[in-house]
Each structure stands twice: as structure tokens, then as C-alpha cells.
Amino acid sequence: MKQIIGVLSLQGDFLKHKQAIEQCGHHALYVRDFENLKKCDKLIIPGGESTTMLLLIEKLELRQPLLEFGQTKAIMGTCAGLIVLATNREHLPSDPLKLIDVKIKRNAYGRQVDSFIDTVKLKLNGKDIDFEGVFIRAPKIMELGQNVIPLGYHGKDVVMARNERILVATFHPELTNAVTIHRYFIDKVG
């Protein structure tokens, strides 16, 4: 059945997520207010700049609706989206949403010039998959809390993880042609 997958479109890389969702055969909806959030079965919080994104979440009074959404429905956060969903504040203007128990370090690989593409090793549905990881001023996951399962590695670093309803990646799955991760999120998370 077709699902409605929202993309939080306050700032950042939302167009490519919309295209990936449509390629998976589902409806994509840009979410900028509570009205549209209510229509969604699942939500993606894209990459971008987490400071700006959190400021806009507060300004548009989306914190509480997003927290409530995350209690019953699935959310995927990529890069800045992961930072917004994590537990530690790390120079953010307000607390992150803390919907997944991971501690992160922002810009952990350095500055914009230290952005890179490299293979990440995923383990999805019991299968090992090589995926092209696009890392843009990416954070690192420093600690995984209880109920958080690692799903992807770059060397020894965990770069993708999930709990029951929340899936996070430090890289940008929407910038590669393969929709493996979007499909996994839509079919298997939540």
C-alpha cells in the first residue's frame, strides 16, 4: 500500500529525499507545519544545518508535534537530521529531540573540504550490502545507548543505526542513486 512519507522541509536537502520516496513508489509530502505532519505515515528529517533546523522547529512550534509523532510513527534522520534526533546538545540553540539514544559529535571529520565519499558496509535484513556513503561535514556517532542497533559501518565507526521507530545515518543516502536505505526505512522501520 502507498504510504505518505513526509520530508521536513524547513531547510536543507529535501528535494532529493522526495525523489527517492517517489522512486520507491510512495507519496512524498513536504512538511512545514503541523497540518501536513498529521497527514504523514512516516517522516524524514534531511541533512542541512542542525542549528538552523532546530531554530526553525522552535519558531514554527513543531517541537511538541514532532515529539508526539516520534512516539508512534517512524522517523529517519540523515546527517543534520540525526543531530536533531540525538540525545546530546553539542552547541545547539535548544535541546535536540532525544528520540534515539545516541551521542554524536558534530563536524567530526573536519570542515567542508574534508567532506568525502566512501563505501559503507550495511547489514540490512540479514544481508551485507556495500553502499556509497556521501559524508558532508558529517557528525560521528560516539555512543549507542540501550535499544539502539548498529546497521552500518565506515571502518570502525557506526554510521547508521536504529531503534524501534527511529533510523539515523551520518551520511546522505538521498545523494546516491540506490534507494536501498529509503526502501528499508519505508518497509521495515516502525
Catalytically annotated residues = 79, 172, 174
Tell how far CA 83 is from the center of its chain. Answer: 8
Q: Which of 24, 169 has the CB closer to ligand GLN?
A: 169
Q: Which residues pair with 30 in a beta bridge?
A: 7
Q: Which of 14, 69 has the CB closer to ligand GLN?
A: 14
Q: How far apart are alpha carbons 19 and 99 in whole angstroms?
A: 26
- Assess 133 for contact with ligand GLN (CB under 6 A): no
Interstrand relation of 116-124 and 102-105 (parallel, antiparallel or unpaired): unpaired
Among 17, 37, 48, 133, binds ligand GLN (CB under 6 A): 48
Measured CA to CA in angstroms, residue 186 lies from 1, 57, 105, 176 at distances of: 11, 24, 27, 17
Q: Which residues pair with 180 in a beta bridge?
A: none
- Assess 80 for contact with ligand GLN (CB under 6 A): yes
State which of positions 139-168 bind ligand GLN (CB under 6 A): none
Q: Please count the residues of this chain forming the interface with ligand GLN, following the rule CB under 6 A.
A: 11
Residue count of the chain, please give it: 190
Interstrand relation of 4-8 and 42-45 (parallel, antiparallel or unpaired): parallel
Least separation in angstroms between residue 138's CB and ligand GLN is 6
The residues near 132 (Cβ < 8 Å, ≥ 6 apart) are 117, 119, 120, 176, 178
Least separation in angstroms between residue 141's CB and ligand GLN is 13
Least separation in angstroms between residue 92's CB and ligand GLN is 9
Among 6, 47, 133, 152, binds ligand GLN (CB under 6 A): 47
Q: Which of 4, 56 has the CB closer to ligand GLN?
A: 56
- Assess 79 for contact with ligand GLN (CB under 6 A): yes
Return the axis-axis angle of helices 63-72 and 50-59, rounded to nearest 10°. 100
Residues in touch with ligand GLN (CB under 6 A) = 47-50, 79-80, 83, 106-107, 136-137
